[in-house]
Structure 1
Amino acid sequence: MSDPKPDGTTRIDSDQLRTFVEDVLRSGGVGSEHAERVADGLVRADMRGVSSHGVSRLEVYMKKFEGGGFNPSPEITVTRLGDAVSSVDADDGPGQSAAYAATTEAIELAEECGVGMVSVTNSNHFGTAAYYTERASSADCIGLAMTNVGSDVIPYGGSEPFLGTNPISFSVPTNRSFPITLDMATSVVAMGRIQEGSRREDTEIPADWAVDENGEPTTDPHEAVAVRPLGGPKGYGLGIIVDVLCGVVSGVGTSPDVGPLYDAFDEPMRLGHFVGAIDVSAFRDVAEFKREIDDYVDRLKAIETRDGFDEVMLPGEIEAARLRDQRETGVELGASTVESLRALSEYYDVPFPQ
């Protein structure tokens, strides 16, 4: 672990951080396989620069496990529903375990049928959607993943939260060292960025991010009760589609039916995911497909830049660069996250990375 920088951030070796998170989870009664999957998902989020879905979530996860809201040893079941479709019951376990199992199933279905679609029910928070789509792309599939979450987003034209931030991700395999990955909330910003970032650091938020209890714009993260849909009616519409695929198709219920993450620690969230894989080889020779993708990217990169940009970047390229950097130099964590992890270290008697 590095000494804290002037801004309070600290770098910790990624392998040591992953081991620490696993050990905390196991000490809290989480089964080894699930502890490994959750730890890998959280640490990878931080390594990609998505700290709102990284190890800062470990504290609330442990409260959910300890309180009984998250099942620490679920029996995840996979049921084939047809030639190219399956369902996964998460048994109220961690979303990372359920969505990973769904991704495995989607890839296998795609290898058999060209396309695989998997619905997940009775699940919990699953971290970043890119964690699953990039796994599909590494198997030469175009990956798709989405999830509904609790009501944190006002509908377009409304003043009360109804939709979730309902993120969606796609990953496309390439010959480069990283896939093209779009991973986005269907809201202006993920609520977790306010909860785990701005509130912890006590910093103002942009006026177009969130609204207060009266439905009015606010710059105070502590007064934010809901965020706005991305692009107005466009994000609102996408959020509805994610809710349909994740909540209605799975039968688990839509965003207003999802349980909370940050309180009611004895209650499961009971949300749904939808994961898909498209086997490129079912349509094209994979090598030819990747060559055409590379040519496509080269043409994008050749476009003249403006407004201070050095180059045209691909979706996921910045995150891929951060992943490479933090794999070599350590995972950068904010002061409040380090403080939270140290408290968990003491409570569960797990040595903090040195």
Structure 2
Amino acid sequence: MRATIGSLRDLMGDACQAASVPKDKAAFVVEHYLAGELRGRTSHGIAKFCFESRFFPQREGSPQIVRDQGALAVIDARREIGPISAAYAVDVAVGKAADLGAGIIGMINTQRYGILAQWSERIAEHGYLGIVMNTSRAEATVHRGRTPVLGVNPLSFAIPTLDEPIVADMSTTLAPMGVLWEARRTGGPLPPGCFVDEHGNPTDDPHAATSAVVFGEHRGLALSLLLQILTGSLFAFPMGAAVKSTWSTGYTFLALDPSFGGQVTGFPEHNTQFADAIRSAVTRDGAPMRLPGQASKERADHALATGTVELDDAVFRRLQARAAGDFASD
């Protein structure tokens, strides 16, 4: 079905009210998940909002810094709603980058959020290189593997330019776990080759799937391993099978300022020149090269221009239930 953006925004706002989200934060939470939907990241948009809103009443308070040493800090989010805790972590990272040239922030005990791109982009808008990542329970395995040992370990980075930041947002698995969760709800098939069963065999059956598959075979494993360390042992957070729940999942926010102390100048200018060089390159079909995040932005611009978005009927019904105060049905 096609739903108007305005109607989705209203229903999400009603759901936030029903879940006792603070009035001054509700619109911010709504716009975060709505942005995921508009950018075409449907597993991290309205469907993710419907899933995560069940946990909104479990917030215990505002996030707080529990360890602070130079450029590094650790935040106990106190089970805060994901977009609210992420915004807090970004502010801490940016503040440290302004003072020290780098902000390296670990966060734990938070509810989940949707897309990562918004947070790396917020950092880049201050002129800093922004990198955001998180882990999960052990839900991913490598090519030809059968045992889930890694988190799904998504990564986003944003590069400041003289115009809008260049933003990448990617999973290190062939498909995000949100695809599996939604397929289990709807009964639809999984994308081929992205998930395996308990024997390590590829499956498109969402009820047989036990692990997402890391992209790029062992090169993907290497990258996912790095992200696991950066969201785990770097801050003494659990990793792999030791991640038991949402509350023991690690999140990392990096803000890096190469111009600190006047040692390096022209960071956004150099990035702009390089981005222009990439855009001027062409594919074998003669089309211009596409930068990371470009397609997502175009989808969002189109949705905003039409005022509507395509939405699965079941997701819309679930959103209506949340707006009516029903957080149990799924």
| TM-score (norm. length: structure 1) | 0.83
Match of 2:93 in 1: 106
2:39 to 48, 63, 87: 48
**Long gaps (5+) in structure 1:** 1-7, 261-267, 350-354
Name the CA shift for 1:160/1:80 in 2 (closer, same or farther; >3 Å).
closer
Q: Quote the residue 1:72 is aligned against.
A: 59
Q: Deviation string for 1:248-304 (max 9, x for gaps)? A: 2333311323345xxxxxxx532110101112432543xx33332222122212223
Partner in structure 2 of residue 217 of structure 1: 202
Change in 2 beyond 3 A, CA 1:249/1:18: farther
Shift of the 345–256 alpha-carbon distance from structure 1 to 2, 3 Å rule, reads same
> CA 1:161–1:131 in 2, change beyond 3 Å: closer, same or farther?
same
Q: 2:173 aligns with which of 173, 178, 187?
A: 187
Counterpart for residue 139 of structure 2: 152
Amino acid at match of 2:320: R
Q: What's the RMSD between the two structures over aligned residues?
A: 2.4
- The separation in 2 between residues aligned to 1:257 and 1:38, in whole angstroms, is 29
Aligned to 2:190: 205
How many residue pairs match? The answer is: 324
**1:90 to 1:272, Cα distance in 2 relative to 1, 3 A:** same
Cα 1:252/1:36, change in 2 over 3 Å: farther
CA distance in 1, matches of 2:286, 2:251: 36
Change (3 A) 1:80 1:220: closer
Report % sequence identity.
Answer: 26
Distance 2:75 2:240 in 1: 19
Q: Structure 1, residues 175-198: CA drift from partner, whole Å, max 9, x if none?
A: 33x3211211111111112322x4
* Structure 1 residue 324 corresponds to structure 2 residue 301: yes
| CA distance in 2: counterparts of 1:175 and 1:302, whole angstroms | 17
Q: Is the 8 A contact 1:144 1:170 kept in 2?
A: yes
- Report whether the alignment pairs 1:345 with 2:323: yes
Distance (whole Å) between structure 1 residues aligned to residue 32 and residue 234 of structure 2? 25
Please state if 1:38 is matched with 2:25. Answer: no
Q: Is the contact made by 1:88 and 1:98 (CA closer than 8 Å) also made in structure 2?
A: no
CA contact (8 A) 1:13 1:329 kept: no
Residue 279, structure 1, aligned to residue 257, structure 2? yes
Tell me if structure 2 keeps the 8 A contact 1:34–1:72: no
CA separation of 1:313/1:215 partners in 2, compared to 1, >3 Å: closer, same or farther? same
Residue 270 of structure 1 aligns with which residue?
248
Moved more, 76-85 or 183-192: 76-85
Q: Which residue of 2 aligns with 1:171?
A: 158
CA distance in 2, matches of 1:256, 1:182: 28
Q: 1:81 to 1:137 in 2, by over 3 A?
A: same
Unaligned runs of 5+ in 2: none
TM-score normalized with structure 2 length: 0.89
Query: Which range is displaced more, 78-87 or 312-321?
Result: 78-87
Deviation at 1:141, TM superposition (A): 1.0
Provide the secondary structure at the position in 1 that maps to 2:278. Answer: helix
Partner in structure 2 of residue 22 of structure 1: 13
- Which secondary structure state, in structure 2, belongs to the residue aligned with residue 218 of structure 1? coil
Corresponding residue SS for 2:302 = helix
Secondary structure class of the residue paired with 1:146 = strand
Query: What is the Cα deviation at residue 34 of structure 1?
Result: 4.7
Determine the C-alpha separation between the residues in 1 that align with 2:190 and 2:8: 29
- The 2-side partners of 1:341 and 1:36 are apart by 16
- Residue pair 2:9, 2:30 contacting (<8 A) in 1 also: yes
For residues 331 and 54 of structure 1, the distance between their equivalents in structure 2, rounded to whole angstroms, comes to 14
State the distance in 2 between where 1:252 and 1:292 align: 36
CA shift, 1:241, in A, is: 2.0
The 8 Å contact of residues 201 and 336 in structure 1, kept in 2 or not, is answered as yes
1:105 to 1:138, Cα distance in 2 relative to 1, 3 A: same
Determine if the alignment matches structure 1 residue 310 to structure 2 residue 296. no
Match of 2:18, as an amino acid?
A: S
CA contact (8 A) 2:107 2:251 kept: yes
